[in-house]
Amino acid sequence: MFDIIEQARLGELHFKSDPDSGLKSIIAIHNTKLGPALGGCRCIEYHSDTAAIMDVVRLARGMSYKAALAKVPQGGGKAVILKPAEPFDRKALYQAFGRFVNELGGRYITAIDSGTTIHDMDQVAKVTPHVSGSHSDGLDPSPNTALGVLAGMKAAALQRYGNSKLKGLTVAIQGMGNVGFHLASLLYEEGARLLVTDLQESKVKQAQTAFHAEPMSPDQFCSAHCHILSPCGLGGVINHETINVLHCDIIAGSANNQLATPDLGQQLHQRGILYAPDYVINAGGLIQVSMGLHRATQQEISNKTWGISETLYDIFTRSSVENLPPSTIADLTAEEILYQETVGA
């Protein structure tokens, strides 16, 4: 356990079990140099406790790096709830989770993530003030996450094609959830051709109707012939098997931990596939909730989110100069901020 903590340079790891509600939860606080840790709560099924621990540690580290490169006054943290196998009282579960968050005294601020909703955060907000993105504050991060991904795609297109316009490009989106659907809407307005997939067929049909999107089966996603591959579901989409079937120029999506292992960034770089590091391009949600907590206007939040384009373009430029993968450059840049290190190549 301590090896995992030390390797990730994790600050704190907290566990909570509440038999009455069925809550089994873990909160990881990675780094609070820049401010209180802010990160969503994920509620999914895990095949083991170890898998849940590894997930929350990776996600918390990513949030620290994301906050550093997004230039918001937050540290990195994350929570996971091991989704109960048996039917459960959702309100009781999230109120119990809220009490867990409250015990940390504000060092961790929670928000929505995969498997959680604004309604769940409403329950959390009943028992702790350390939550962002409930109906009471209006800080739904999903639309702004999508806006940041759009900004990042424009930077990637500029780097890859010499033009930031997305009109006429084919974009394959995996996941028609809150972020994926908002992203599809923005890309449709840009004039992109859309290929979409989701485990729920109804969501695919909705995108077909709204955006004239072309459907794919989930197992066709990674091999789709497209300009931009956009993973907007769970992580690990690019792995040692799927990397061999890619037919895209750019990978740019909202999912966290898109690369199953770090070495895949180098493989993409060698193949000439431009990868927009996930925690950089999907920072719009963090920007929304962080700046919202500090009473920024929506216009100020939007302007800050469009800055993701500049951050990514700087990363791509440094990547070209140093001949290192963008994922490596992003890590190095974040570590220079968090640890005041001048990290050599």
Residue linked to tokens 């038999």: 19
Two tokens at 189? Answer: 């307005």
Q: Are strands 75-82 and 23-31 parallel, antiparallel or unpaired?
A: antiparallel
What string of H, E and C letters represents the secondary structure of 53-78? HHHHHHHHHHHHHHHHHHCCCCEEEE
State the amino acid at position 210 in one-letter form. Answer: A
Residue 33 burial by Cβ neighbours in a 10 Å radius (0-12, 13-18, 19+)? middle
User: What phi, psi does 13 have (nearest 5°)?
Assistant: -140, 120
- Cα 273 from Cα 160, distance rounded (Å): 9
Q: What span, in angstroms and rounded, lies between the C-alpha atoms of 81 and 70?
A: 26
Q: How far apart are alpha carbons 66 and 188 in whole angstroms? A: 27
| Look-up of token digits 């659907």 | 181
The single residue of 78, 165, 203, 205 carrying the catalytic annotation is 78
- Of residues 317, 303, 302, 252, the one with CA closest to residue 281: 252
- Do 95 and 134 contact (CB within 8 A), yes or no? no
Which run of H or of E encompasses 154?
Answer: helix 142-161
Catalytic residue check, 78: yes
Q: Which residues are the active-site residues? A: 78
